[in-house]
Amino acid sequence: MQTETVDEYANRIKNLGKHIEFTDSTLIFALLNCLKPAIKGQVLAKNPQSFAKAVDGARLRNYQYSLARRQQRN
């Protein structure tokens, strides 16, 4: 489950991927598996073809998710 920001996690797995030579699809898989379920489903629906696009999608969905949660509290 996601406990750090999308950017923190994306940077961590991207750096790890450099040492192990992960493919983009492996990095996407690792990113998706740690996202909140509500965010993961929306990112998957866009079928990102690169790690960068998956991260961008996750950032956008995370922002939208956070806004919706704040609005529900108010």
Query: What pLDDT, on a 0 to 100 scale, did the predictor assign at position 47?
Result: 95
Nearest to 4 by CA among 27, 35, 25: 35
Indicate the pLDDT class of residue 2, thresholds 50, 70 and 90. low
Specify whether the CB–CB gap between 3 and 35 falls below 8 A: no
Instruction: Please enumerate in sequence order all residues whose Cβ is within 8 A of that of 33, keeping only pairs 6 or more positions apart, or say none.
Output: 40
Query: What pLDDT, on a 0 to 100 scale, did the predictor assign at position 66?
Result: 87
- For 51-69, the pLDDT digits (tens) are 999 999 999 998 998 898 8
- For 8-39, the pLDDT digits (tens) are 888 888 888 778 888 889 999 999 988 888 88
Domain borders along the chain are 6-73
pTM of the predicted protein model: 0.79
